[in-house]
Amino acid sequence: MKPDDIHSVIETLREEYKNWQTPAVTIIAQCNGSPFKVLISCIISLRTKDEVTAKASARIFARAQTPKAMTQLSTEEISQLIYPAGFYHNKAEQISLLSRRLMDEYDGVLPDTIDALLDFKGVGRKTANLVMTLGFGKPGICVDTHVHRICNRLGYVSTKSPNETEMVLRSQLPTEYWIIINDLLVAFGQNLCHPVSPRCSDCRLLNVCGRIGVTTSR
């Protein structure tokens, strides 16, 4: 695709988004989700299906919605609440340690910069950017596997890793699309532009997509 095609691509995805399932973390953010809740749900979501993330997040937030409340739960309790999220034991320990550190060093207030968030154990750039955009409403570009794959498939970037994709997008993606790009491409990737055998025949972006790396499609 040509760089200027991004405007029509975003507009088309916005229209199609209405027909797709909203990502679980986005729903949590929209339902009066605090930055802390966005962070916790994001941790739960890693390598976990959206329906599991939604249910696990609902269970744990029914018991604790703040760092202070979370510190009142044992690691085992957190583990049971977020099961069967992927790597739930490790995530429970991470959530517990993170909550205690927030209380000890930040008076229970989640910091609102990417660098500060990255200083917490287990928080990578994807998670930090998602908290910035969905939790704080501040500029950021959350690049997960969907965003990385689809941007390369379209031909909008040519990169080898999600981190590299983020840096390229920061230099060329219009700022008005920074916050929404993750939501749109995650939903697009989950519903149509699958990693293997994407549904190209049903895609309204077929005329602009470079289909880079696509060997089979439907």
Catalytic annotation, pick one of 107, 112, 115, 126: 126
Catalytic annotation, pick one of 144, 160, 183, 202: 144
Supply φ then ψ for residue 145, to 5 degrees.
Answer: -65, -35
- Asked if 126 is an active-site residue, the reply is yes
Contact by Cβ (8 Å): 161, 148 = yes
What is the rounded CA–CA span in Å between residue 131 and residue 112? 8
Count CA atoms closer than 13 A to 165's CA, side-chain side. 27
What is the rounded CA–CA span in Å between residue 82 and residue 59? 7
Nearest to 217 by CA among 203, 205, 204, 200: 200
What is the rounded CA–CA span in Å between residue 101 and residue 97? 6
In the structure, how many helices (H) and strands (E) does the chain have? Answer: 12, 0
Instruction: Identify the helix (H) or strand (E) that includes residue 11.
Output: helix 6-17
What is the rounded CA–CA span in Å between residue 124 and residue 58? 23
Show which residues are catalytic.
126, 144
